[in-house]
Structures are given as structure tokens and as C-alpha cells.
Amino acid sequence: MSASTEAFLAMLAAERGAARNTLAAYRRDLAQAEEAIGDLAIVDRDAVASLAGEWAGLAPASVARKASVLRQFFGFAIDEGWRRDDPSGALPTLRTRRPLPKVLGHDQIAALFARAEEEAAGDDPRAVRLLALIELLYGSGLRASELVELPLVAVPRDAPFLTITGKGGTTRLVPVGARALAALARWLALRPALPASRYLFPSGTKGTGGQHLTRVRLFQLLKALAGRAGIDPAQISPHVLRHAFATHLLEGGADLRVLQTLLGHADIATTQIYTHVDSARLVALVNSCHPLATRATSD
């Protein structure tokens, strides 16, 4: 990659606190663009326009993401004095609808937890660990990366809260319910003693050094559990359980601002996507509480 794109990524990390996964995705997009048209700090508008052909076979969301990254880069290049022109107008301008999140129903959540609790009835460390993992995913709405990277010291002692370091290095307090606390207590009693590991969920239950459980392994464990619970594994992921946490809280009457804080969203517009699942309750609320609801309709 060119020095200019490396400088751009360094700025994102230092000044905007971009998350590691975001930086990795941006790096891939920028590297692919440079491979196709050359150094982005000096390419002309026609070269930038040719990227539309390079991206022709991609999904609209992927094209939108790549174009967004390049627009940010070109703005940075102008600020740094590397370019006098802004060629971003030659990029595709697709408008994509944000997909609605997948959500598990209450019956599916019940089946998933029933299976996990049944398997964790004994002292099998792997089964108890999995129960603790899904309790935190659904009970506290953690992101997969936040969960697997939880340090051992994050386990609540005096108050039922976890201190979570989320996207961009921001921290937030997340409440931990009684069920999750009980599952964590069981896991800590069985967790292998690993002086080298500072993580709550180290990789392996017999100890394989100082690494934590990977996100990929968490996906695999959850999908396998879903299959054993009679749920289509394609319907479930750690993020789907996070969505279920948010959706079911809204159904129960949670405030959207509170939910924003719990989920660690910087922009409430991100949280508002969950309101689609609560439309039936909102309609019922209007029909029962609006002053006109009690007035008889005219013949």
C-alpha cells in the first residue's frame, strides 16, 4: 500500500478511534483500489470512474462501503495537500436500504436456552462455558468481539455490571442479570487456572496459552447448539442474539435512549432500526390510548 493510504489509516486509528475490524476492512478496500488504479493520492478522475467496472459484480452494500472509504480518503488527501481536486464524484452513488436485523422469536430463544441448560446440568466445562456465553450475548447484548475479549477482571464483584470496551475504544457499563451471574459463577468454578491468560474465556478449556476464544469459534459453538436445539443454524449468530436482546427489551417497554446506551451505539439512528419489530405494539398503543380511539366512528 502507498504511504498516503497508510497515513489515512493511521489517522483513523489515532484521531477517530476506529475499531480494529473497521481498519482491517478499510485496509482491504484501499489495497484493492490501489491494485486496480494505482496510488490514490495522484490518480485522475477517469481512473476513479473505472472502479465502477471493477465493482460490477459486487453486492450494492459492498460497493457503497468501498465508495464511502474512498470518499473519506480523498477528503483526507485534500486536507493534507496531496490533491487539489476531489475525484470522488466519479464514484458510484448507490443508495442501499439498511437490512433489518434477523431476530429470533421467544420460542426459539426458549428452545436454545433449554438445550444449553440441559447440556450444562453437569460439570462439563465446555457446556457451562457455552451457557455463560449465550447468557451474556442475549442477557446483556454484547458484541461477539466484546464478549470473547472480556478480561477476567471484568467479572462483577460488588455490582452487577460489566465494564465493556466497545468500538473505537469507548467504554460503557452493561448490567448483568441474575441468570448470567449464576452462569458466570459456575464457569469461574470450572475455568482452567491459566496464569498466562487474562481473559474470561480463554481459548480451550484445558488451556492453550494466553489467547482468548476466537469469534469464529464462538460462531461455530452457537450454530452447533442451535442445530441440537432444533433451530436452523443459518438463523443464528452472536449478532442475532444481540438483536434479540434489543428487540425483546423494546417489546417490554424499554426506552430507546437506554437501549442505545446498553448497545454502545454512537448514533441513535443505529438503534432506531429495532423499532420496526415493535410496530404491532405501537399500533395497539395508539388504538388504545389516543383520544380519538374511544370515539365511535360515524355511520
Q: One-letter amino acid identity for 189? A: A
Q: Which three cell numbers stand for residue 259?
A: 437501549
Q: Please state the three-class secondary structure of 113-137 as a single string.
A: HHHHHHHCCCCCHHHHHHHHHHHHH
Q: Please give the distance of CA 147 from its chain centroid, rounded to a whole number.
A: 11
Is residue 132 within 8 Å of 187, Cβ to Cβ? yes
Q: Which residues pair with 164 in a beta bridge?
A: 172
Is residue 169 within 8 Å of 12, Cβ to Cβ? no
Is residue 100 within 8 Å of 60, Cβ to Cβ? no
Phi, psi for 165 (deg, rounded to 5): -100, 110
Active site residues: 143, 167, 239, 242, 265, 274
How many residues are recorded in the chain? 299
